[in-house]
Structure 1
C-alpha cells in the first residue's frame, strides 16, 4: 500500500467520524438484512485490496446512489464474484452513482445520466479521465436503467446512511468499446460498423476509420441505422473517393467530447470532426440533428454508452461532405482544454447545475 493511501485511510476516522471499515461493515450488514446477500458478500470483498478500500472510503462521505442487483440477478449473470478483486471492484463501481437525485428523473424518452465510480483506464477512455456514466429513465412503473440494449427496472428502494439503494433485477454490464457496440444487432447499426471498417485512413491500409474512432478518447457518434445507409445513394457514389467518405462520416462525429442527450438543448454549440457545425431542434415527434444545414435526421435512440463515449442512432445519413480543418482542430483543442478542468458531477450529467431535470 502506498504511503499516501495509508495516510488517507488513517485520517478518515477523524475527518468523517467513522472509519471506512465501520461504514463498510454497516453497509454489508444492511444489505444482508435487506436480503441482498450476494451483493453483501461482493461488497465485503472490497476490503481485500487497497483499490477496493478506496471505493469504500469514497462511499463513506457525500451522497451516493447504489443500483443494487438482487440475489436472482447474480445467479443468472455470467460473472464469478470469487474472481480477482479488481473485477469485483470495477463491477461494484459501475453500480454506484455520485449524488442521489433519482427523484428528478425525467420520463422516457428523456434520459437521465449519472457519473459512476468506475474509472479503470482499461475499461473507460472518456475525455479528461472522467469516470463512466450510467443511463436511466422513468416509465409508468417507475425508474429503469438502460444497459447494453436492455431495460432493467428498479424493483425496490431502501436507504443506508448517505446511500440511496435502488434494487434491480439484473447485474449491469460495463459499456463496451465502439466496435462491439456497433456490432450489437439490438441497436440496428451493424451496417455502419462495416462501412467504417472498410475506409482506410493510412497509406499502408493498416488503419481504418473504425480503428481511429475506437481509439479516440471522448467521442460522440451520430450513427445512421441500417436502413438509412441502405437508402443513402450518396455513399455508393463516394466509394472511389476515400477523402469524401472520411469527410462525410467525420460530420457524424464530435471529437474529444462526449455529448449526452440532455445537452442537445439549451443553446449548446458543437463542431464535427470535419469542422462543420451541428444544430439540434426538438418538436412533438422528437429531437433532430443536422450538420451545417444539411438534411435533418431524427434521433431514434440516444445515449448508447461506449467505453470511450456515446452513440446516438439516427434515421438518415447527414449529407455533408464539407471540411473545415481549422474549425475542427480549434474545436478539438477547446474540448481537450475543457476536459482537463472538468470536475466530477454530483447531479445529472449534461444538465446545467442550475437546471432541474424535471419530474
Structure 2
C-alpha cells in the first residue's frame, strides 16, 4: 500500500499535478481565477481533458467591457471557458490540419497547421506552448481568447450590415450553398468596395451571372487561412473556374490581398474564416476589360 502511494505521489510530481495545478504553475493565473469563479475547478480535476489555455496577455487583449460582462455573468463565462476544453487527452501529434474537436459546449474548434512559419492555430489563436502534461490531461497555451462562432460563413455575411451588398451578390450568383462547404476562407468586400466599382460595372455584373459568379469565387480560398498562417508574397489559389491566384502582402501590422487592405481579420465561422477587405478583387485576366473601368 505504501509503495502504491509513493508511486502515485511520484507520478503526480512528474506530471506536474492536475490540470488546474498545471495552469497555476505555468502562470495562467487569469484563467485559473475565472475557472474558479465559474465553479469549474473541481470538474477539471475529475476526468481527462485537454485545455486550450489563454495566457494572461490573451485575456488582457479582450475589450474591457467584454471581460467585465463575462465576470458578471457566470453562465456566459462558463460557456466561453468550456469552449476551450476538449474531452480526453489530445496532443499535438494526435491531430491533423483542418481537424475539428468537440468542446464541452458541444461546439467544435478547428486546428490548422501552417508549414511555412511552423504556426499552429486553434480557431485562429496561435498555440504558443504545446503538450504541458498534467495527471489528467494536457494543456496547450494560446495567445487569444476564443469566442464561439456566430454561425457559418453565410451567417457571418448575413449578420454584418457592412456586407449586405456582398450577401445580395452571393444570392444573385446562387453561391450561398457553395459557401456552406467546409474549410473555406472568404475575403469579403464591404458595401463601399462594391460601390466603388461604379453603377455601370455593377449593372453589367448583375446581367452576367456567370461573370458575377467568377468574380465572387475569386474571393474564396478552399482552405482555412487565419492571419497567423498568412505570409508576405504568398500566392493562394481561389475557387474560380481558372483557379486564379491572389497575392498576400504582409507588412508590419497590415495585410493586403492583391491591392485590397484587410480591414477586419479572423472572423471565425463554423466552416472557416472571414476577412473583411476594402476592395473587390478582380482576376488579372480582366484587368484590361472596360467593364472594370480599364482601357
Instruction: Report the TM range for the smaller structure's normalisation.
Output: 0.5 to 0.7
CA contact (8 A) 1:222 1:312 kept: yes
Q: Distance in 2 between matches of 1:33 and 1:89?
A: 9
- Choose 1 or 2 for highest CA Rg: 2
Could you tell me which residue of structure 1 aligns to residue 185 of structure 2? 220
Q: Is 1:76 paired with 2:73?
A: yes
Quote the residue 1:297 is aligned against: 260
Show structure 2 runs of 5+ residues with no match: 1-6, 60-66, 114-119, 127-132, 287-295
- Note if contact 2:188-2:274 (Cα within 8 Å) is conserved in structure 1: yes
Query: Who is 2:206 aligned against?
Result: 239
Deviations 1:156-203 (A, max 9, x none): xxxx989698999xx8521232123223437x3233123213322xxx
Provide TM-score, normalisation by structure 2: 0.60
Aligned equivalents of 2:173, 2:225: Cα separation in 1? 25
Q: Which residue number corresponds to residue 281 of structure 2?
A: 318
How much does 1:23 deviate?
Answer: 0.3
Q: CA deviation at 1:222?
A: 0.9
Point out 4+ residue stretches in structure 1 off by more than 4 angstroms.
19-22, 27-35, 37-40, 67-72, 87-90, 125-131, 160-168, 282-285
Given that residues 157 and 163 in structure 2 are in contact (C-alpha distance below 8 angstroms), is that contact kept between their aligned partners in structure 1? yes
2:147 counterpart (151, 158, 173): 173
CA-based RMSD of the aligned residues comes to 4.9
Tell whether the 8 Å contact from 1:303 to 1:312 is kept in structure 2 after alignment: yes
Cα–Cα, structure 1 residues 29 and 262, in superposed 2: closer, same or farther, change >3 Å?
closer
Alpha-carbon distance in structure 2 between the residues aligned to 1:34 and 1:180: 33
Partner of 2:123: 133
Counterpart residue number, 1:230: 195
Q: Give the 3 Å change call, closer, same or farther, for CA 167–228 of structure 1 in structure 2.
A: closer
Q: Size of the alignment, in residue pairs?
A: 237
Please, which runs of 5 or more residues in structure 1 have no aligned partner? 1-12, 82-86, 100-114, 137-159, 201-208, 291-295, 324-359
3-state SS in 2 of match to 1:79? helix
* Match in the other structure for 2:170: 196
Of the structure 1 ranges 245-254 and 302-311, higher mean CA displacement relative to structure 2 is found in: 302-311
